[in-house]
Amino acid sequence: MTTATATLTGSSFTFISDLVRERSAIVLEPGKSYLVESRLSPVAREQGLHSVDELVDALRRPGAQALTRKVVEAMTTNETSFFRDLHPFEALKTSILPELINNRARERTLSIWSNACSSGQEVYTIAMILREHFPQLTGWKVRLIASDLSTQILAKARQGIFNQTEVNRGLPLPMLLKYFQKSGLTWQVKDEIRNMVEFCEINLVEAWPVLPPMDVIFLRNVLIYFSPETKKEILGKARQVLRPDGYMFLGGAETTMNLDSAFDRVTVGKATCYRIGKPC
């Protein structure tokens, strides 16, 4: 068996951090060499290479597009869980959705976007809330869009198959039993929930496809990886997509402050969210 050894040189680190920043906007600060090593050693091994330096040599050769994609995807962090941080979902259920459903009573449409959705726990949480608490949406055009940069993680999200550890994180037992079916050692989201979601590949720093005007945008735990300029650019684009009375959620360590003054920070129950402010 080929083993990849820990030999990452400074120039390899620079090459990888430039590549990753260019393709995904993720910033790898100096000192993150260990992270590159640990994420890319398995990729090197899979390619039959002995080290990440050899992997970098392969990436420098022409025609390395597929490998480049693999490397960028391997450098993303896919940490997520069902009902992550809880408060945004409580706010969605008790205040935001009732208000938006009231506002949209005539047009009977609702669009929600789970951005940088990783393996799908966030969007399936939203789908279960809709199904469990809002039977009045039957007959409405509800679009639940989930997107990520990574084709690999999107394939997992689409399948909706989770292991016991994943379902143990945040998912209430009654919801597990109601909306998942057990298959061997794993649990799969039932089709009635899975079919509510449209998955698509969107790289936040590339051109966005045409999207419906969004009532709620979840843009959580992804801006943290970007430079302030990239955050500004993405928040500006999100503002164009969000409806004037819509809501946006960011991750707990993220804010629009000092980045986009058009957003107001509001508290709904115990959740913090962002709304487009009225012009002065």
Ligand X SMILES: C[S@@+](CC[C@H](N)C(=O)[O-])C[C@H]1O[C@@H](n2cnc3c(N)ncnc32)[C@H](O)[C@@H]1O
Asked if 222 interacts with ligand X (CB under 6 A), we say: yes
- Is 220 one of the binding residues for ligand X (CB under 6 A)? yes
CA distance 150 to 159: 14
Query: Is 60 one of the catalytic residues?
Result: no
Residue 231 sits in the site that holds ligand X (CB under 6 A): no
Task: Please tell me which residue in 39, 84, 104, 220 is annotated as part of the active site.
Answer: 39
Site for ligand X (CB under 6 A): which residue of 33, 41, 118, 256? 118
10 Å CB burial of residue 253 (0-12, 13-18, 19+) is exposed
221 lines the binding site for ligand X (CB under 6 A): yes
Nearer to ligand X, 175 or 204 (CB): 204
CA 210 from chain center: how many Å? 18
CB of 112 to ligand X, least distance (A): 13
Cβ nearer to ligand X, comparing 57 with 233: 233
Q: Is 123 one of the binding residues for ligand X (CB under 6 A)? A: no
Residues in 69-98 that interact with ligand X by CB under 6 A: 76-80, 84
Residue 147 DSSP code: E
Report the Cα–Cα distance between both ends of the chain, in Å, rounded. 66
**Both tokens assigned to 37:** 């090593």
Of residues 177-216, which lie at the interface with ligand X (CB under 6 A)?
203-205
Contact string (CB under 6 A) for ligand X, positions 3-42, x = contact: ---------------------xxx----------------
Q: Which distant-in-sequence residues (6+ apart) come within 8 Å of 159 by Cβ?
A: 188
CB of 200 to ligand X, least distance (A): 11
Element (DSSP H or E) covering residue 159: helix 151-159
Supply the DSSP symbol for 5.
B
Verify binding: residue 250, ligand X, rule CB under 6 A.
Answer: no
Catalytic residue among 21, 84, 85, 148: 148
From CA 111, how far away is CA 212, in angstroms rounded?
A: 7
Closest by Cα among 261, 252, 249, 262 to 219: 249
148 is catalytic: yes
Centroid of chain to Cα 63: 29
Q: Which residues bind ligand X (CB under 6 A)?
A: 24-26, 76-80, 84, 116-118, 122, 148-150, 153, 203-205, 220-222, 225, 251
Residues annotated as catalytic (active site), given as ranges: 39, 148
